[in-house]
Chains A and B, each alone.
Chain A
Amino acid sequence: MAEKIATREAYGSALAEFGYKYNIIVFDADLAEATKTIKFKKEHPDKFFDCGIAESNMLGVAAGAAAAGMIPFVSSFAMFAAGRAFEQIRNSVAYPQLNVKIGATHAGITVGEDGATHQCLEDLALMRTIPGMVVMNPADAVEARAAVEAAILHDGPVYMRFGRAAVPVIFDANNFKFEIGKGVILADGTDVTIAATGVMVEQALIARELLANEGISARVVNCCTIKPIDRELITKCAEETGCIVTAEEHSVIGGFGSAVTEVLCETCPVPVLRVGTEDVFGRSGKVPPLMELYGLTAQNIVDKAKRAVAMKK
């Protein structure tokens, strides 16, 4: 069985590692132990600034530091970064196109026991609407590390989404290439494309095996970058497999699935079915039963893939 590491762990480790290579500073809002920026703080104490429980000010401070030439990372839970500080991100960070990197952890339903107030299922939708914002949602620890370095090298605002729960490492760290804005075909297939992001990439790979048992050939595409979305690859997949299923640990309203449908209705209209949380809030619970309850399993992907294939005819 693959090693399991939460993407927030990889985020914290990457900050600590890249703190030696690049001139970054890190802000947190009293959640360093949870967001794992504590790892950066331990190795670079002079470049770490706790802002206390004041996310709005934290984003503004980061914007000012970026305006003065620094590369600031800011971290909190996705709910309080993308949610509470949305307007600071829009007006203080993105409008002047400042070089602020937002590392939002504890995104999605996999927050688990803390429940609905902390399970942000709307952040991709919120961040995606902001002009010039790069939005990334890494699937595992390897991709999380690569996304952090890509964010540092990118000039402009970036939103990165990380999870609380440990997830399998699915990529090979020794042979991993990453480019902002590029999706990757992880496994080929001809009948349907499963386009997945974040923790749902693992479920998509499992779904592909289940579909194979039923004689359906599924292609799996990993889209870490939600914005700019890989229009070319998504269009190519629609043309070649004739239908698409999207999978994300996020509301089906406004997130990755929406981004895919926006592309395809303009370039290659084919049946698209979306796996994600419906128009509902989360609730407390352990992660596996939550994923089942909210329809975020490989089986949910299989069911929608079969329907999508049937809709082609």
Chain B
Amino acid sequence: MDSVTRRELQKTAANVRLGVLEEVFSASAGHPGGSLSIADIITYLYFAEMNVRPEEPDWADRDRFVLSKGHTCPALYAALAEKGFFPKEDLKTFRHIDSYLQGHPDKKHIPGIDMSSGSLGQGISAACGMALAGKLQNKDYRVYTVLGDGESQEGQVWEAAMFAAHYKLDNLCAVLDFNGLQIDGAVTEVMNPTPLDDKFRAFGWHVIVIDGHDFDAIEAAFAEAKTIKGQPTLILANTTKGKGVSYMENKAGWHGKAPNAEEYAQGVAELNAYLETL
């Protein structure tokens, strides 16, 4: 990746993170920690990887995206707004009674949302169904989904993993956001799902392990996934929960809590300072 492209992606990701903070602050609710950990991956998907049309969200040949860890939609909404699916000023209506920006992704009402999600374990199944449909319809679109590490404790994830490998869904690429923390603490302490790379390999997936904040690694992983035939790909992304906002980093407490005014101002200042360096 050339340095200009990398810098542009880093800027966009920082703006997505600012959007996340704006959303959860305006709502006084929401899930900043896991939104910030996926901000770089979501940014790469919408600004470098996926074939989508903001002016035609339902375009039949578009690549599909399902946020299986639906509670981290602040990052997805911010990326969709950056991309032009809807106005950026709407982000501040997140979770408000009169807003279309629901607390979890709502396919029926939000432009660019390909699947309603939020009940963990269900998004990956829907992504499998989309990938299967793409093959049946002889379409060459790809299907992407992002899962949480805690989400992998849901049995349905493994039902879907079996299905995707069985039907050779090589047009499906899942990213597992391994930030290591869930509501009750470290995933390895709450209910240890590791080793996730070995588990997905055993289920018949091609697995790539990366640093989920390194755009060069993200680019290489998605490029590799496209070359894999006959099996789905899992990108196991090691990430930092709360990435980019110092006081949120690696703190389980910021899973589902909104910052107060002072904390919000500090987070915005930190991200703006980072933007200045780019």
Binding site for B on A (CB under 8 A): 25, 47, 49, 51-52, 54, 56-57, 59-70, 72, 87-88, 91-92, 95-97
| Chain A: CB-nearest residue to B125 | A60
Among B66, B118, B119, B162, point to the contact of A64 (Cβ < 8 A): B66
When the two chains form their complex, are residues B156 and A67 in contact, meaning their CB atoms are under 8 A apart?
no
When the two chains form their complex, are residues B162 and A49 in contact, meaning their CB atoms are under 8 A apart?
no
| Bound CA span A88–B107, Å | 15
Among A56, A64, A96, point to the contact of B127 (Cβ < 8 A): A64
| Bound CA span A72–B123, Å | 17
| Bound CA span A64–B126, Å | 4
When the two chains form their complex, are residues B156 and A65 in contact, meaning their CB atoms are under 8 A apart?
no
**Which residues in A have their C-beta under 8 angstroms from that of B121?**
56
| Bound CA span A70–B119, Å | 23
Closest 9 CB pairs between A and B?
Answer: A64-B129, A60-B125, A57-B159, A64-B126, A68-B133, A54-B159, A61-B129, A65-B129, A96-B107
> Closest CB of chain A to B199's CB: distance in Å?
16
Interface SS of B by simple majority: helix
Binding site for A on B (CB under 8 A): 60, 64, 66, 106-108, 114-116, 118-119, 121-134, 136-137, 155-156, 159-160, 162-163, 166-167
> Closest CB of chain B to A52's CB: distance in Å?
7
| Chain B: CB-nearest residue to A25 | B136
When the two chains form their complex, are residues A96 and B128 in contact, meaning their CB atoms are under 8 A apart?
no
When the two chains form their complex, are residues A91 and B64 in contact, meaning their CB atoms are under 8 A apart?
no
19 new A-B contacts at CB < 8 Å, known A57-B162, A61-B132: A49-B167, A51-B163, A52-B162, A57-B128, A60-B160, A64-B127, A64-B129, A64-B132, A67-B64, A67-B107, A67-B115, A68-B64, A69-B60, A91-B119, A91-B122, A92-B119, A92-B122, A96-B106, A96-B115
> Closest CB of chain A to B184's CB: distance in Å?
21
| Bound CA span A299–B59, Å | 59
Pull 17 A–B residue pairs with CB atoms less than 8 Å apart, ordered by A: A51-B159, A52-B166, A54-B163, A56-B155, A57-B162, A60-B122, A60-B123, A60-B128, A60-B156, A61-B125, A63-B122, A64-B128, A65-B133, A67-B130, A88-B156, A95-B116, A96-B116
| Bound CA span A20–B235, Å | 40
When the two chains form their complex, are residues B162 and A61 in contact, meaning their CB atoms are under 8 A apart?
no
> Closest CB of chain B to A7's CB: distance in Å?
27
| Chain B: CB-nearest residue to A94 | B116
**Which residues in B have their C-beta under 8 angstroms from that of A56?**
121-122, 125, 155-156, 159
| Chain B: CB-nearest residue to A29 | B159
**Which residues in B have their C-beta under 8 angstroms from that of A51?**
159, 163
| Bound CA span A62–B136, Å | 13
When the two chains form their complex, are residues A64 and B155 in contact, meaning their CB atoms are under 8 A apart?
no
When the two chains form their complex, are residues A69 and B133 in contact, meaning their CB atoms are under 8 A apart?
yes
When the two chains form their complex, are residues A66 and B129 in contact, meaning their CB atoms are under 8 A apart?
yes
| Bound CA span A238–B85, Å | 52
**Which residues in B have their C-beta under 8 angstroms from that of A67?**
64, 107, 114-115, 126, 129-130
**Which residues in A have their C-beta under 8 angstroms from that of B133?**
64-65, 68-70
| Bound CA span A66–B64, Å | 13
**Which residues in B have their C-beta under 8 angstroms from that of A57?**
125, 128, 156, 159-160, 162-163
When the two chains form their complex, are residues B108 and A64 in contact, meaning their CB atoms are under 8 A apart?
no
When the two chains form their complex, are residues A97 and B108 in contact, meaning their CB atoms are under 8 A apart?
yes
**Which residues in A have their C-beta under 8 angstroms from that of B108?**
95-97
| Bound CA span A95–B136, Å | 25
> Closest CB of chain B to A118's CB: distance in Å?
21
**Which residues in B have their C-beta under 8 angstroms from that of A96?**
106-108, 115-116
**Which residues in A have their C-beta under 8 angstroms from that of B167?**
49
| Chain B: CB-nearest residue to A27 | B129
| Chain B: CB-nearest residue to A57 | B159
